[in-house]
Amino acid sequence: MKTLRENYSEMSDYHECEHLFSTDIDGRTVCNKCGLMMEAQLEYGFDQRGTHSNTSGSKTSVLDAVKGVPEEVKIVARASMNRKGEFFIKKVRDDKKNTFKEIYVAYQKMKIKFDPIALADELGLGRKEINCCLKSLSGTSLTPSIHDDEEHCSIAILHPADEIADICRKNNLEEHIEEFTKISRKIVDNKDNLLSCKPHHIACAIVRKCCEKKGIPLKSFGKKNNLSDSALKKATRKVEEFFE
């Protein structure tokens, strides 16, 4: 069985492999395709220059504590952080921004659809911090950090139209999915700055206005879609011009 260090010499295979992880008889998490063996947790304070302190001051890393992220994504992110600390002689800080970047890249490597804004909210990142992370990931930062990876990835933007189907299913509006999705795309095409807003909020606002126009009652709409009344009203003001 290959260890993480042994797999480093075949890193191109690691990046190209669409990992399929399982637990072997020894309790280790291993990719069935390329044999990559993942660590169970981050190697706190690993630094070949001699620093071995735990920067978080806690036994639980930010990555381990974050909720809503599939374990297989965490495994890939955790392996990347350990690999950088071990082979690139630069310690990856156990903080929210680095965790956001590693999870972001892990999602893309595994080709799993996700909402970057929801991930940022879960980690408690502000807009300025998100922009900083995205610039680092895309390689457009004017002042690169020593913690930035040598390879860059594309930036994922979730379109409000991608949220319409789930919202309709939660509210028994399945028959309107196709229609509301088309309306959503048309609205965003005519007002592209909506792409900088939270896609779930905008999608909820569009569904709400579509239903109002059709005379379809919505009961506990905000609660069903995990959205406060104030947030829903704010998002609705951004799209109501298209329903006048």
Residue 194's CB is within 10 A of a number of other CB atoms, namely: 23
Interatomic CA distance for residues 109 and 18, integer angstroms: 8
Amino acid identity for residue 153 in this structure: C
pLDDT of residue 103: 92
What residue ranges of the chain have pLDDT lower than 50? 1-15, 39-59, 88-90, 142, 146-147, 150
Say if CB 22 and CB 75 are below 8 A apart.
no
- The tokens for 98 are 């680095």
Residue pair 170/225 in contact by the 8 Å Cβ criterion: yes
- pLDDT at res. 53: 34
Give the pLDDT score at 151.
55
pLDDT of residue 36: 58
Residue-range domains of the chain with CATH:
39-138 (1.10.472), 161-243 (1.10.472)
Residue with tokens 């930010």: 62
Question: From CA 81, how far away is CA 79, in angstroms rounded?
Answer: 5
| Backbone torsions φ then ψ of 146, nearest 5 degrees | -65, -15
- Residues 55, 45: contact at Cβ < 8 Å? yes
Please indicate, yes or no, whether the overall pTM of this predicted structure exceeds 0.95.
no
- Burial of residue 199 (CB within 10 Å: 0-12, 13-18, 19+) is buried
Return the DSSP state at 45: T
Cα distance between residue 134 and residue 160, in whole Å:
19
Q: Which two tokens stand for residue 205?
A: 């606002």
Do 164 and 181 touch, CB atoms closer than 8 A? yes
pLDDT, residue 207, reads 96
Query: Which residue type is seen at 178?
Result: E
